Structure 1
């Protein structure tokens, strides 16, 4: 599935269009509320002219009943209209969150490039919420326009002069409000960018808290976050100042406008052009107009923030996939033959490698960056700059990455665990009928089960932080083994376990993976010793291929990488 390019305008348009039914209902009911609010001062003026001035009690009771009915109508209109608007806002935000998550999890990847996980989280929460709130702003904006129109029509009926002042002055106020919202839009975008970055840095620091404590880098980490948070605070204060300036200026302009309406109405009453009741209605309408005009100030601010957030969301949605989606099919059954021909990517240069079906291959890289580049090519997180990677004779470029990962599992060194139980984590990717116990034994994770009070039902916190580093590694390795893929690529699965446990895990991996292709990208001598053969990756090139013991004798670079 491709990812369609979109702009901030497209995101806003789709957010409103997708909830058009609730927006229309909310706007209709909101318009009824505003029309009712506009009619209240008119009815009060009628009561004065038709009942109070003439002293007719029956007319007074009649018009008071009409006024009460209008109040009931406008109250219910606001209640149900606001409910429809809130529903539209929340549903639009939910749709955007789902769309963002779908893009981030797209098999082609790419959305995470250049963005911290915390930044993506902020975009999927705060920015989506702001764009969803645009539906509410649209609803209230339409309602305010109806209120202004009703007020203008009544004022035209009372006095042509008053009506023209409102009809001509309102567009000018709206235009000025739009101009004043531009600085807020720019500063709101900067505010969200800085807040997302600060959130991402905080998430990374929390995730690596144990490591930071282990190396005594707490002060440096706190200092880094302090600088990032300070930058976010400055951006937030700038946005707040811009919003306060906009609201203050719009409120001042609105006050001047209302004062002009009241002044003109008073002069007309003194001159006898309008009655006392009409003067009361005109002044009441002038005060009522303050509400819709204040709504316009809020709507402008909300739209400015919504446009800024929509642009950030569009940036994620429009990010091109890191790899293309091929139309080819996996061979059935998958034998597990892996071939690299002339592969160059990042630090790798002209890599030629054949991995036979069922082989246990070790790969020892003298540079960790080269190992990471190889893993990206094998998992198809990226396509090589030149050359081809094949599975059973089919180029990986021709396959859908989602289909490929059903046959090839690349278990990263820093794989995270999920919140749940030990059994739940190990069996997450395993076939339904599979027994996770052999994988737990092979990975040495059975010791963890025996040591825990609740055994395999022991709760695991998010990202596995309730376990030690070695325990997390063993559970993650057990999960990879339990998945039972035709090809398994494992990267440094035992760096946090002790030597005795590592010596037990090595033959366990070989036994459980017998007959299926396994690639161990590691510098662990215990793991490399059980491999059928080991490839030495030095300087981005394959310099030798032989059993572990032979490479130890032949190459000083290998001894340094593996035995140091």
Structure 2
């Protein structure tokens, strides 16, 4: 999208303009089809006047041949026009989906704020499809107008009165159709919102299915989804009723216009103003008008739904970023010195903390929310309200978040795995020519591989659900270690691992990260015991820093957080 904050109109304009060649080709061929359809009743009238009335066999064969050629031409025009139109719609949908994915994955974040993953998925699929479908609607709309214009010209040549009926009646019909589409647009937007919310709730419940079963919350989850699903159904039914009403009213108005054309043509034929063939042509053209006018009614409905979906797409694309890129760059060699000075964010209040290059630091937060706030700042998903967070003396707010993440990796506790193999997941972020074996050994993934059917090449299902919780954690930790960043921040990487394996991981982690800065945000005694020192984050402030054994000896708060 070219505008930095696109509107729904910008999205539609870009969708159609980006595929203008296919839209133009499709419109031209589809218009040829409509013109050919309009000429069929005209040619039938000519056959009647020039061949049937005069019993001229030669003329009959000639005009029947012309009619056959017209049929072949309009059939080919429709086939290739529909192909061009569908291709423009699919390509536009694809481009728009890529734009949405780029925005959602942008290092600055913000697109996901206030939206569950299922809602974003619906916008990137159903809404993108509806916006792409506007290309097809534009193509068929132009073709329908070409058919109506051809019909009006022919009728004007036959009778000025007949032509004026069509030329004056069609704009009125289009205007009424546009007015009737307004309620559909509003209800279509509500329908998509409710559908997106239902998808989001379903995805949320499926992701937490094990937890729900563990706490016996299935009935509450079912009740929640049933309520959400009913709301979605009600919105869908309202949109369907609005579409049915709009289609029915436009069809009724179209029928009235056709009836007027047939009535005027019949009176002119009775008065001798037009011939029998011209009357047949006029009636045939009146019946032909039903097709393009129905198409225009469909186009109105498609545009209404497309506008509603384009508005939802534009909201995601124009979402404010959580953080913006600064103007400074990282030094060529990152030492890994991390400093927090007077940092205030969320529940954090005046946090001061220095991490020396190459240090293995533990952070124990008595409130899990404070740990999350700290991780968000280090990953630069947010900037502190007060104070600064620095890497090698450079404030993080002055760096591009994408560049920062090449030097500092924050591995979340609930990191997802990708569909692929175990080894493929470990090497997903590893530099080229990096041997992943040390990271896999340190995180005890080699033990996991020994229990799997194909070892490291065993396929991992979506989000790693084919593995147990402890196996997923070990693969995710190995992936973070294999990335080999100068600074690594890890959050509770062993909560689902047994004590013996956890002790081995602690020793392996210290060994594989030797000489590089590592911050362990955890309350695990096994992990904290291998750190150089531990910072106690209590009440939103760092209240003490010392080796793990010293803090256990002198802090009741620390003992409660770590040993309970």
Q: Map residues 236-315 of structure 1 onto 2, 5 A cutoff.
A: 236-315=236-315
Deviation at 1:451, TM superposition (A): 1.0
Describe the SS at the equivalent of 2:157: helix
> 1:524: which partner in 2?
524
Equivalents in 2 of 1:449, 1:304: separation in Å?
A: 54
> 2:99: which partner in 1?
99
Q: Is the 8 A contact 1:3 1:317 kept in 2?
A: no
Describe the SS at the equivalent of 1:34: helix
Equivalents in 2 of 1:274, 1:338: separation in Å?
A: 92
> 2:485: which partner in 1?
485
Deviation at 1:558, TM superposition (A): 1.4
**Contiguous gaps of at least 5 residues in structure 2:** none
Is 1:473 matched with 2:482? Answer: no
Moved more, 484-493 or 431-440: 431-440
Equivalents in 2 of 1:539, 1:232: separation in Å?
A: 43
> 2:159: which partner in 1?
159
Deviation at 1:3, TM superposition (A): 7.8
> 2:366: which partner in 1?
366
Q: Map residues 191-270 of structure 1 onto 2, 5 A cutoff.
A: 191-270=191-270
Deviation at 1:437, TM superposition (A): 1.3
Is 1:385 matched with 2:356? Answer: no
> 1:413: which partner in 2?
413
> 1:13: which partner in 2?
13
Give a deviation string over 1:111-166, Cα, whole Å, max 9, x none: 11111111111111111110011010000000000100100011111111111111
> 1:325: which partner in 2?
325
> 1:58: which partner in 2?
58
Describe the SS at the equivalent of 1:530: coil
Equivalents in 2 of 1:447, 1:30: separation in Å?
A: 63
Equivalents in 1 of 2:544, 2:217: separation in Å?
A: 39
Q: Map residues 393-432 of structure 1 onto 2, 5 A cutoff.
A: 393-432=393-432
Equivalents in 1 of 2:63, 2:37: separation in Å?
A: 16
Deviation at 1:221, TM superposition (A): 1.4
Describe the SS at the equivalent of 1:76: helix
| Compared CA separation, residues 98 and 120, structure 1 to 2 (3 A) | same
Q: Map residues 441-456 of structure 1 onto 2, 5 A cutoff.
A: 441-456=441-456
Equivalents in 2 of 1:267, 1:6: separation in Å?
A: 54
Equivalents in 1 of 2:327, 2:81: separation in Å?
A: 48
Equivalents in 2 of 1:399, 1:458: separation in Å?
A: 39
Equivalents in 2 of 1:401, 1:177: separation in Å?
A: 49
Is 1:181 matched with 2:187? Answer: no
> 2:90: which partner in 1?
90
Q: Map residues 335-350 of structure 1 onto 2, 5 A cutoff.
A: 335-350=335-350
Deviation at 1:2, TM superposition (A): 11
Describe the SS at the equivalent of 2:364: strand
Is 1:503 matched with 2:478? Answer: no
Equivalents in 2 of 1:512, 1:193: separation in Å?
A: 48
Equivalents in 2 of 1:3, 1:31: separation in Å?
A: 33
Give a deviation string over 1:367-395, Cα, whole Å, max 9, x none: 11100000000000111111111100111
Equivalents in 2 of 1:435, 1:218: separation in Å?
A: 44
Describe the SS at the equivalent of 1:139: helix
Equivalents in 2 of 1:228, 1:444: separation in Å?
A: 42
Equivalents in 2 of 1:327, 1:137: separation in Å?
A: 45
Equivalents in 2 of 1:365, 1:100: separation in Å?
A: 36
Deviation at 1:337, TM superposition (A): 0.2
TM-score by length of 1: 0.99
Give a deviation string over 1:372-427, Cα, whole Å, max 9, x none: 00000000011111111110011111111111101100000000000111110111
Deviation at 1:464, TM superposition (A): 0.3
Equivalents in 2 of 1:450, 1:38: separation in Å?
A: 73
Structure 1 residue runs of 4 or more that deviate by more than 3 Å after TM superposition: none
Deviation at 1:327, TM superposition (A): 2.0
Describe the SS at the equivalent of 1:383: coil
Equivalents in 2 of 1:344, 1:253: separation in Å?
A: 65
TM-score by length of 2: 0.99
Deviation at 1:553, TM superposition (A): 2.1
> 1:46: which partner in 2?
46
> 1:553: which partner in 2?
553
Equivalents in 2 of 1:222, 1:476: separation in Å?
A: 31
Equivalents in 2 of 1:222, 1:320: separation in Å?
A: 34
Equivalents in 2 of 1:50, 1:453: separation in Å?
A: 82
Describe the SS at the equivalent of 1:536: strand
Describe the SS at the equivalent of 1:507: helix
Is 1:136 matched with 2:136? Answer: yes
> 2:540: which partner in 1?
540
Moved more, 549-558 or 154-163: 549-558
Describe the SS at the equivalent of 1:390: strand
Deviation at 1:526, TM superposition (A): 1.0
Give a deviation string over 1:28-85, Cα, whole Å, max 9, x none: 1111111110010000001001100000000101110111111111111111111111
Equivalents in 1 of 2:460, 2:190: separation in Å?
A: 37
Q: Is the 8 A contact 1:3 1:321 kept in 2?
A: no
> 1:25: which partner in 2?
25
Describe the SS at the equivalent of 1:199: helix
Describe the SS at the equivalent of 1:94: helix
Describe the SS at the equivalent of 2:340: strand
Q: Is the 8 A contact 1:417 1:425 kept in 2?
A: yes
Equivalents in 2 of 1:515, 1:32: separation in Å?
A: 73
Equivalents in 1 of 2:266, 2:556: separation in Å?
A: 99
RMSD (CA atoms):
1.1
Moved more, 82-91 or 2-11: 2-11
Give a deviation string over 1:295-327, Cα, whole Å, max 9, x none: 010000000000000000100000121101112
Moved more, 313-322 or 429-438: 429-438
